[in-house]
Amino acid sequence: MSILDKKIYYFISVVEEGSFSAAAKKQFVSQANLSKQIAQLEKEIGTELFDRNGYRPVLTDAGKYFYDELCGIKKKEDELFNGLNKFVPSAVKAGFTGLFENRELIEAIRKYQDGKSGHEIELNRYDFEGCAKALVEEQIDISFGLESIFKRYRNVKYEILHGYDICFVCTEKHPLAKAKSVTVDQIKDEGLVILSKKFSSDYYNDFMESCKKDGYVPKVNVEVNSFDELILSVCLGEGVALCGESSIREEGLIAIPIEKTNHSPNYVMAYRNEPLKTNVENFIKYIREYFATL
């Protein structure tokens, strides 16, 4: 919920992001639509807010004054809704991905609720990109997932809950299946099953960068769009995978630790960088303390 017109938020995003394209991406709208909204705002005000003659938009004197004043108004708006939230009982809306990747979280939520009044949690399942988008668009209060999908959003804060020990995952028939650990040199030529850009472009890019840091270009046999598909593909012998040991539960699959690898994704708790409802703050505090004991 907001008091200010959406055109105001588009204007603020352009100033803070430094370009119309970056602001459009942040607001999940097309650049053409955002530019049209800014032009309409300037028409309503009666003066130009940006000098568009250069490579990047620059605030005019009127635009700078407008932005400075808006910052104070936005702060007051946040304070107003934060104060009102204390009087509004509601469930904490949490976003997460698959159950396998979030077993610890599900157990934490079960213990947090445990019949207690005021501890209601509404769980919403998304794909990896959807977890971040729903949080930014204020559809949920808090989101859980891999660090890579949240770190590009300036208005999102996150806390690392734990890291994943990335393993070499193969079938029991694989030549390396009986190894206690493997080196990067042993696995760099293996045909991989990997999660595609459709699954998450940020995760995909981080994965490729980690392979590069390990000193090789991955040989990709199959790209899949979900973690379930990845596991199935490995079970069918279409390739091996690199993923967290805690995510593997299928019989017939072996997860072998990798020595000295740069593959080290973090599991995080993310929320918007703004005043939060009391029940959301209480839930965040509980989750933080719960994972600290694991």
Domain boundaries, the chain: 6-85, 92-163+267-292, 166-263
Query: What pLDDT is attached to residue 290?
Result: 94
Q: What is the pLDDT of residues 257-291, one digit of tens each?
A: 999 999 988 889 999 999 888 889 999 999 999 99
Query: What pLDDT is attached to residue 35?
Result: 92
Please tell me which residue, 60 or 165, carries the higher pLDDT value: 60
What CATH class has 6-85? mainly alpha
**Residue 5 confidence (pLDDT) above 80:** yes
Query: What pLDDT is attached to residue 207?
Result: 94
**Residue 127 confidence (pLDDT) above 90:** no
Q: Compute CA distances 135 → 28, 68, 123, 241, whole Å.
A: 12, 26, 13, 29
Query: Beta 92-96 vs 121-125: how paired, if at all?
Result: parallel
The residue type found at 196 is S
Q: What is the pLDDT of residues 242-254, one digit of tens each?
A: 988 777 777 889 9
Query: What pLDDT is attached to residue 115?
Result: 61
Least confident of 139-143, 164-168, 208-212: 164-168
Q: Same CATH fold, 166-263 and 92-163+267-292?
A: yes
pLDDT, average across residues 66-94:
78
If pLDDT is split at 50, 70 and 90, which confidence band does 82 have?
Answer: low
How much of the chain exceeds pLDDT 70, in percent? 93
Give every CB contact of residue 171 below 8 A, 6+ residues apart in sequence.
Answer: 177, 234, 235, 237, 252, 253, 254
Instruction: State pTM to two decimals.
Output: 0.63
Query: What pLDDT is attached to residue 215?
Result: 96
Query: What pLDDT is attached to residue 141?
Result: 95
Query: What pLDDT is attached to residue 130?
Result: 87
- Measured torsion, CA atoms of residues 231, 232, 238, 240, in degrees rounded to the nearest 10: 10
Query: What pLDDT is attached to residue 2?
Result: 61
Query: What pLDDT is attached to residue 14?
Result: 93
Q: Let me know if domain 166-263 sits in CATH 3.40.190.290.
A: yes
Please tell me which residue, 182 or 123, carries the higher pLDDT value: 182
Query: What pLDDT is attached to residue 89?
Result: 58
On average, the pLDDT of the chain sits at 88
Q: What are the residues facing 123 on neighbouring strands?
A: 94
The token pair that represents 102 in the structure block: 């979030």
Please tell me which residue, 98 or 289, carries the higher pLDDT value: 289
**Residue 117 confidence (pLDDT) above 80:** no
Q: What is the pLDDT of residues 176-224, one digit of tens each?
A: 999 999 999 999 999 999 999 988 888 899 999 999 999 999 999 999 9
- Give domain 92-163+267-292's CATH architecture: 3-Layer(aba) Sandwich (3.40)
